[in-house]
Amino acid sequence: MNALYHLLCSNIANSHTKAAVAFSGGIDSTLLLKAARDSLGNSNVLAVTVSSPLVTAEEMELVYNLAAEIKVPLHLIKLDILQVENIAANNIDRCYFCKQHLFLSIIDVASQAGCCSVLEGSNVSDLDDFRPGSEAIARMEMVKSPLIECGLTKSHIRQLARYLNLPNWNKPAQSCLASRIPYGTRLTADNLTKVSDAEARIRKLGFMQVRVRYHGALARIEIAPQEFHLMLDPKILKRLAAEVKACGFTYAALDMDGYRAGSANEILHSGREVQDCEPDR
């Protein structure tokens, strides 16, 4: 067995007896779910997933398929997260309140199922970005982060996922839809749907790594720099603009820096003030 995977499985087996895994369908939580099942057995593991307006329908379908493939029972929690003012206001501490709300719900389900702990998929690479949600998680005694405890980075996780032949080992990184909306702009079903639909349409054009950042009437599109060459085709460029505008945007603009993780937080390091939340107009 791969030494890193053995380390992860040993960590889980030695620290937990029955556990719930906060499962998003991303590569981190998928690896964690697989390791938990291999360490504790599927009767001692429960995958818990939160469905909310911050998660796309594509991601939810993937969750069902992966849980079935790993052969772990799945419990779905449906939350109308936009009814929580500290989240919908979308100020810079939004992630703290969102993680707090989500994990309190997960802990409740886990406790009722007889689980002694909740495992979540943060990794060492996540520590480099601005993540207020990590502080909320750290305050919950029942929630543990085995990937961090074992010193695993995003690169390690992708290598292990490939080694284990997990179906999403090379899936582009995803993040919650709230990260597409600038701090200070209120989260609404409308603006979240616009960016979700626009990203889905762009992926159908053949782009792998996509973010559509919401700026009112303007969509700022981030694609992976290695895919920039596709933009040299005027037909693709015209169709991309048309697809984005069909989602309700008036303008479509390409971010020349391309996709980069954490770009929504660049404003926090720019010296410019983040505006207080105002309704969309």
The string of pLDDT tens digits covering residues 153-186 is 999 999 999 999 999 998 888 889 999 999 999 9
Query: Domains (ranges, CATH) in the chain?
Result: 3-163 (3.40.50.620), 177-269 (3.30.70)
More confident residue, 269 or 54: 54
Residues 235, 39: Cα–Cα separation, whole Å: 51
**pTM: predicted TM-score of the whole model, two decimal places:** 0.88
Predicted local confidence at residue 116, as pLDDT: 95
The mean per-residue pLDDT over the stretch 33-43 comes to 97
Q: Are strands 218-223 and 251-254 parallel, antiparallel or unpaired?
A: parallel
- The sign of the CA dihedral 127, 38, 140, 26 is positive
User: DSSP letters of 29-62?
Assistant: HHHHHHHHHHHH-GGGEEEEEEE-TTS-HHHHHH
What are the backbone dihedrals phi and psi of residue 27, each rounded to the nearest 5 degrees, phi first?
-65, -35
Predicted local confidence at residue 281, as pLDDT: 29
The answer on pLDDT for 128 being more than 80 is: no
Q: What percent of the chain has pLDDT over 90?
A: 82
More confident residue, 28 or 130: 28
Residues 63, 59: Cα–Cα separation, whole Å: 6
Please tell me whether residue 160 adopts helix, strand or coil conformation. helix
Predicted local confidence at residue 259, as pLDDT: 87
pLDDT tens digits along 195-218: 999 999 999 999 999 999 999 999
Predicted local confidence at residue 278, as pLDDT: 36
Strand segments, DSSP code E, in the chain are 19-22, 45-51, 74-78, 117-119, 143-144, 210-215, 218-223, 251-254
pLDDT tens digits along 76-121: 999 999 999 999 999 999 999 999 999 999 999 999 999 999 999 9
Among 3-12, 114-123, 200-209, 266-275, which stretch is predicted with the lowest mean pLDDT?
266-275
Residues 227, 95: Cα–Cα separation, whole Å: 30
- Mean of pLDDT over the chain: 91
